[in-house]
Amino acid sequence: MVDINYRLKSEHVFDKILLQEVNTRLKSIVFHIDVNAAFLSWEAVYRLAHKGEKQDLRELASAVGGDVTLRHGIILAKSIPAKDYGIKTGETILEARRKCPDLVLVPPDYHLYEKCSAAFLEILREYSDVVEQYSIDEAFVDMSGSCHLFGSPREVAGQIKDRIREELGFTVNVGISSNKLLAKMASDLQKPDRVHTLYPEEITRKMWPLPVSELFFVGRSTTSKLLSMGIRTIGELAKADPAWLKCMLKKQGEVIWGFANGLDFSPVLRKPMANKGYGNSTTIPFDVTDAETAEQVLLALSETLGNRLRADQVQIRVVSVGIRYADLSYASHQKTLQSATDVTWEIYEAACRLFGELWNGRPIRHLGIHTGQVSGADLGRQLSIFDELDYEKLGRMDQAVDGLRKRFGADALMRAVFLNGPIDHMSGGIAREKCHVDYNESMIREK
């Protein structure tokens, strides 16, 4: 905080008030807003308000989960009553049903979730022009320059929380601190529908007693390593020798030591950072055992991936293919192209070559294409006498197809190879069935 006391010599009451206001404005104030059980809450509100549902999913042992028949059978969100049965986000539906045979399961509707996300972000932007969407159900807000217009940080956080509940029907947690890390940790302290502070002076009391697994960026594998090193709480991690942690955990050791001590210098960003790579993958509803079908999947992934590249006006130079086999083992292979590209067919050709070099003939469960070395699309293309295809012409065709699909829908144009076949012609990302839900089939039936 900048000390401006030397500028304010007068003892006049007005000067004291001015000093207090300026010092308050100079403090860094960051909010983290996290929707409570987002997908399930949004489903519950929509069904109650628009579909005539009689029961609130949030009050039942319920969950949002994928379709087991399409191999999307994991729990995406669960209610508090479901949590009481030990059901966890990310576990399989079969595991969840073993814990709670009467679990109410509803399919996800990502089209609905995108609308709900946009609605709560719109409210946040009424309080600050510096809002960073962290995920579909989380956002950071830099309130440093605007908090004084609405009240104290806790009062403003309460206003935001209550407005979202009253206007949109779902609840959020709001964490308040001086940086993003501590604000995020604060929002997780106790749920739902709460406001929590976690300022640097509160770290030892509120954060250090927590299990080390609760620290941001500490996943299951890192937790196991830390436990084996005798580190069980965030406080023990904070007091550990950072050189020892770096020796044991490499760069991550330094990072999590800093986080345990509340150190984070990343700013709240108005605009998301540019992607360092683009990826697309899909879990196939059946085991693929022949190259022809696998190549159809790669073409469908290339269609979606190429469309994203052109929409963002970027090109890529590195292409990687990943295969997950039926036994869940994984293998990948990559190559660098001669020229950066956003042409669907060129990406597809590279993916097929990589696949041919990588595949060992075993049944395939999941395929993915990932890219790197992203650059702007205005750099031009290095022509080569070895080019067998007119990539400039293919690029113009891609642009025309993108325009038609944007205007008339993704299914307006489809390659003939996908007609009447089992592969979606634009695979990957959010699956089609997760964006269009038949609510007449998924309403809760009273027993």
Active site residues: 138
DSSP state of 365: E
Q: Are 259 and 181 in contact (CB under 8 A)?
A: yes
Can you say how many angstroms the Cα of residue 75 is from the centroid of all Cα atoms in its chain?
Answer: 16
Element (DSSP H or E) covering residue 299: helix 291-311
Burial class (CB in 10 A: 0-12, 13-18, 19+), 123: middle
- As a 3-state breakdown, the chain gives helix, strand, coil percent values, each rounded to 5, of 45, 20, 35
Q: State the alpha helices, DSSP H only, in 70-214.
A: 80-84, 93-99, 110-124, 153-168, 180-187
Q: Which secondary-structure segment (H or E) carries 78?
A: strand 75-78
Cβ atoms of 435 and 110 within 8 Å: the answer is: yes
Q: Is the peptide bond before 153 cis (omega within 30 degrees of 0)?
A: no
Joined together, the tokens standing for residue 347 give 């990406």
For residues 261, 266, 267, 270, the Cα torsion angle rounded to the nearest 10 degrees is -130
- Which 3 state secondary structure label does DSSP give 417? helix
